[in-house]
Amino acid sequence: MPVRKFRKFLISGALFLIVSVAIPTKASAEWWFTPFIGASFGGSAELADVFESVDVDFERRLTYGASLAWVGGGAVGFEFDFGYSPNFFETATLDDEEFDLSGDSNVTTLMANIVVAARSGAIRPYASGGVGIMRTSVNDPEDFFNDVSTNDLGFNAGGGVAGFFSDRVGLRGDIRYFRSLQDNEPDDEFDLSIGSFKFWRGTVGLIFSF
């Protein structure tokens, strides 16, 4: 999804949430457990050494995981989101030419997020964002990456819609943007900046509310 369309999506969702929050409703706190499946897409990173720091795009890949969210009586809650994408770096594109990386690879994300959601109703749009860990692992004998496995800080932002067809069970459609954070000058100071590794994730999931 292009960034411009995604911004329009977030603005529309935010306006809907403002209206929803302004209307008095009876609501109680609840937990949402959501196993999900979907795809990562629009992934890219800057690879060094072999390609002299050029951008490489990665192909769409399967992703799955689960989230646990607490939605309070108000509009604001929190969420823990875990995602796993096997074979994330298997096929890449450089200068419009595809190439395959040897060996196994994967990306694991674990994020702690703030959630803003409509307080009640069968259809409940929400927005979510926060920070956490982005772990990349590449078992590649050709050494396309400087580090075979890394644990980096990262952030994510996105949103979606939860639709309930009973008091306890529903479906969720979700789209999020993930990006790494890095320390450009390793020293004693905490000076993180935006990293080059990024991707989008679109998923659908089954919500269990309790």
The structure tokens 């949103």 sit at 159
Q: Walk along the chain (210 residues) and give the pLDDT tens digit of each residue.
A: 554 555 555 556 555 544 444 443 445 788 999 999 999 999 998 765 444 556 788 889 999 999 999 987 778 999 999 999 998 987 777 766 666 665 678 999 999 999 999 877 899 999 999 999 999 987 765 555 545 678 899 999 999 999 999 989 999 999 999 999 987 666 666 667 899 999 999 999 999 999
Token reading at 36: 């999900």
| Alpha carbons 30 and 32: distance in angstroms, whole number | 7
Token reading at 52: 């002299």
| Alpha carbons 196 and 203: distance in angstroms, whole number | 23
pTM (predicted TM-score): 0.79
| Alpha carbons 200 and 210: distance in angstroms, whole number | 29
CB 142 within 8 A of CB 102: yes
Candidates 93, 87, 91; CA nearest to 62 is: 87
Assigned CATH for 3-209: 2.40.160.20
